Amino acid sequence: MIHPIMIISLKILYNSLPGVSQELSWTLTNLTYMASSYLMFHWVKGIPFEFNAGAYDNLNMWEQMDNGDQYTPAKKFLTFVPIVLYVSPCPESTDVLSLSKEERRR
C-alpha cells in the first residue's frame, strides 16, 4: 500500500513545483521511485534490527522477502509497479509517434 501512496505523493510534489511540465513531473517521479526502490531492495544489506543474530547480514531485502522464494505475489507486485509507473504517462505524452499510412509504407 505504501508504493501507490509514495508514487502519488511524488507526483503531487513534482506537479507543485513551478516550471515543471507534466512530462518532466512523470520523469522525476519515475526516477525518484526507481532510485529509492533500488536503494531499499537491492543495495542495502542486512536489517535494521539486531534480534536475528546476524542471519540476514549478507542478504538484501529482495533476497530476504518470502524466504528467498521466486515468483511470490509480493515479488510479482513489486516487479509490476515500476512497469505500470513507466507506462502510465504514455497517454499524456506529446512524443507519441503518429505515422500516416504513407510514412508506414516507407
> pTM (2 decimals)?
0.72
* Domain chopping of the chain, boundaries: 36-89
pLDDT of residue 59: 83
d(CA 100, CA 83): 29
| Segments in the chain forming alpha helices (H) | 2-16, 22-38, 61-64, 73-87, 101-105
pLDDT of residue 52: 67
pLDDT of residue 28: 93
pLDDT of residue 40: 85
pLDDT of residue 97: 53
Q: pLDDT averaged over consecutive 10-residue blocks of the chain (106 residues)?
A: 90 94 90 91 78 75 82 89 85 57 50
CA 10 to chain centre: 11
Q: What would the pLDDT profile of 18-47 be if each residue is shown by its tens digit? A: 999 888 899 899 999 999 999 888 888 877
pLDDT of residue 33: 92
Q: What Rg value do the Cα atoms of the chain yield, rounded? A: 19
